[in-house]
Structure 1
Amino acid sequence: MTDLIPLGGKRVLVTGAGRGIGRGLALTLAASGAHVLACYRGGGEHIDSLAVRLKETPGDHHLIQADVTDAEDVQRLLEEARTRFGGLDGLVNNAGVISHIPFEELPYEEWSRVLDTNLGAVFRLTQQALPLFGERASVVNIGSRAATVGIPLRGHYTAAKAGLIGLTRSLAKELGGRGVRVNVVAPGVIATEAELPQAVVDKYSGLTAVGRLGRTEEIAHAAAFLLSDLSSYITGETLHVDGGI
């Protein structure tokens, strides 16, 4: 097993933890020694299996169902962090949505949905989490390599992820004086439990310098580094974890 970055009992909230990168984040951070409060939107067997995995991992871990676009759910989620942990040392804003629609056909309602989930929720959670942060807190926003290159049919998604970079840089400067660091981890194409067509795997593997897709735990290792005290002098940065695509 890959060596883990020790997180020494840090209290961390992870959003969008039910599937994919979020699931990898929750499990890896818990295995690294963090106490994890994992937020998910919809239930199912994948949540049941995540609950079992977290229960088997040493530490104080909890699964909470919440919609990060709902103001009341956000308040309830952060109250859970306060009552269960007494505060937070880390926040990983991972929850997100994506759709593929030509710009000329993109309804404003879908534009708003994607922007609110991928960017608006980060604003809500980070702002309301500030009173819970300890002296050396770290916010890790999960962005996308798409933010700096643009992708056809995903103008709304790309705009949200590009906005996340700007928000991160501003918050790093504004919150640094109170001990809060804010960074972005920007994944490339990552293999998750959702199977991709072989043609897609071959295409994107061939575009990377390392010749393969990324793994969810590789995104989680980057996040763990930014949550840890090893990165205490890093803030406002975007770390691309994309295999050199």
Structure 2
Amino acid sequence: MVQTQIAVEGKKFLVTGGTKGIGRGLVLNAAAAGADVITCYRSEDESVASLVRELKETPGDHHVVRADVGEPEGVRSLMEEVRTRFGRLDVIVNNAGVISHIPYANLALDEWQRILDTNLTAAFLIIQESLPILGPGASIINIGSKSCEVGIPLRAHYTAAKAAMVGLTKSLAKELGPQGIRVNVLAPGVIVTEAMLALPPDQLEAMKVRYTAKTALARLGEADEIAGGMLFLASDLSRYVTGEVLHVDGGIT
């Protein structure tokens, strides 16, 4: 049978860190495509309330819950919500992340651990806790970064976490493959987000000029374009794709 469209209708999605930036685009696009979605956030703000409003207007069974996945207890409470509300998962998108910019000589151990706990250990725990409710055909999508290939000054901790995510993904793809579970990395390029748009105008313009020049398509990306990669990896169109890193970065160098 020839498949011509991405279909995720009725699939149960967990997208971590889904109230802002790329995560918000992933959540809204999954819901719009017919999936049921649970997402989480760490702190209350207007982005949470506005996402709740948007999801209420989108058909499906959607939930926005408070859980700090940088803490093991936060992961446990999130997974309890998933088991209670959905009972199963078809797609996990490990998107939650934090970043800071610190010279390596000044990088404190607790900051190193904070970045790795949220960007890497959270994915480890969520996948492990989800195994009993993942069935054949399930897709795990770990959000990566181009930075782990090129390295970025002041982000040694973040880059290390994203590089380790690739290793985790490739190992799990082989370990979970016999169960019919696929594991891939989705690696965005430079994407326009609320945080970027909140920069002072001169900094924003400088960033746009710098990264536009480095990108083959000569523009920055949009969250919806990352969502396209997610929907592909979540659907049966990618049913023979696992252990891969899908770059959605406009050809950035």
Task: Identify whether the pair has TM-score above 0.5, normalized to the shorter chain.
Answer: yes
- Percent of matched pairs sharing the same residue: 60
CA distance in 2, matches of 1:4, 1:40: 31
2:239 is the alignment partner of 1:238: no
CA distance in 2, matches of 1:118, 1:85: 25
Give TM-score scaled by structure 2 length. Answer: 0.94
2:219 is the alignment partner of 1:204: no
**Matched pairs, number:** 243
Deviation at 1:5, TM superposition (A): 3.0
Aligned AA (1:217): D
- Post-superposition CA distance 1:135-192 (Å, at most 9, x none): 2110000010101110011011000000000000000000001111000001110001
CA distance in 2, matches of 1:12, 1:168: 18
2:230 is the alignment partner of 1:223: yes
**Other-structure match for 1:86:** 87
SS of the aligned residue for 1:214 comes to: coil
Aligned AA (2:78): L
Aligned AA (1:29): A
Q: What are the ranges of 5 or more consecutive residues in structure 2 without an aligned counterpart?
A: none
SS of the aligned residue for 1:101 comes to: coil
Runs of 4+ off more than 2 Å = 3-6
- Post-superposition CA distance 1:79-107 (Å, at most 9, x none): 21111112100100000011111111111
Aligned AA (1:232): R
Deviation at 1:232, TM superposition (A): 0.3
Aligned AA (2:175): E
Deviation at 1:10, TM superposition (A): 0.3
**Other-structure match for 1:122:** 123
CA distance in 1, matches of 2:58, 2:6: 16
Aligned AA (1:165): V
- Post-superposition CA distance 1:176-235 (Å, at most 9, x none): 011110000011100012214111111101110001000001111101110111100000
- After superposition, the CA RMSD in angstroms is 1.2
**Other-structure match for 1:12:** 13
CA distance in 1, matches of 2:212, 2:33: 29
Give TM-score scaled by structure 1 length. Answer: 0.97
CA distance in 2, matches of 1:68, 1:59: 24
2:87 is the alignment partner of 1:96: no
Aligned AA (2:16): T
Deviation at 1:4, TM superposition (A): 7.8
SS of the aligned residue for 2:194 comes to: coil
**Other-structure match for 1:25:** 26
CA distance in 1, matches of 2:10, 2:51: 20
